[in-house]
Amino acid sequence: MKLTITDIKGAPQGELQVSFEVIENGRGTQAVHDAVVAYMAAQRSGTACTKTMGDVAGSGKKPWKQKGTGMARAGSFASPLWRGGGVTFGPKPRDFTKKINIKVRRLALRKALSERLKAGDVLVVNDIKVDAPRTKSVLAILKDLNIEGQSAIFVTESNDENLYLSARNIPKVEVTTGDLLNTYQVLRPAKLVFTKGAFEKVGNRLK
């Protein structure tokens, strides 16, 4: 498969051969599911915490004597049955991360990118340069590439602070590098805009 390379104005500048094998059949669908579930699980903070009966501050004194009061037996002010008492089986801090091996992650990324390539949602440009942090600069690039108003992700070969600062105020526009691109980021936006160097870097990861 070959992709047309353009400049940031959308003018053709040549072609680029996809260096990895594009998946044509249903293989990799489960890997994509596993990778996305693992990614979203890893975003959870897992900090929810409740106090059990032993954590509640208060006296250990028996509220009233066992017999003769006419009231139900009570042994602690921290009883889960009482207001201000402990919580029974409440949440505690936990780690939600799910482990998937590197071959599954690589297959998931290749499957996701293959589907986006076949759908025509991948654009490759020579380079993306923003001289200073200005939102207008990125809006102009989106307009020239005919993807204004759509969700998009810019994938660069290396970190570009000016591009990141220019794009962060635009809703549904994200910036990442070829080293960090993951399956969820490939699937989420309407369009993926790669620099030539970034696409080659991703291709090397998937060979």
Same domain? 179 vs 85: no
Same domain? 113 vs 85: no
Same domain? 53 vs 89: yes
HSE, side-chain direction, 13 A CA sphere, residue 98: 14
CATH number at residue 199: 3.40.1370.10
Q: Are 155 and 127 in contact (CB under 8 A)?
A: no
pLDDT in tens, 59-87: 889 999 999 999 999 999 999 999 999 99
- Among 61, 95, 129, the domain-final residue is 95
- What is the domain count for the chain? 2
Same domain? 172 vs 89: no
- Among 95, 114, 133, the domain-final residue is 95
Provide the residue range defining the domain that includes 56.
45-95
User: Could you give the CA distance from residue 160 to residue 120 in angstroms, rounded to a whole number?
Assistant: 26
pTM of the model: 0.83
pLDDT at 26: 85
User: Could you give the CA distance from residue 110 to residue 101 in angstroms, rounded to a whole number?
Assistant: 15
Query: Facing residues of 68 across strands?
Result: none
HSE, side-chain direction, 13 A CA sphere, residue 159: 2
Same domain? 57 vs 144: no
Average pLDDT, integer, range 191-196: 95
Q: Are 138 and 163 in contact (CB under 8 A)?
A: yes
User: CA 186 → CA 22, 52, 87, 94, 134, distances in Å?
Assistant: 15, 43, 42, 28, 25
Same domain? 141 vs 50: no
pLDDT in tens, 104-151: 999 999 999 999 999 999 999 999 988 899 999 999 999 999 999 999
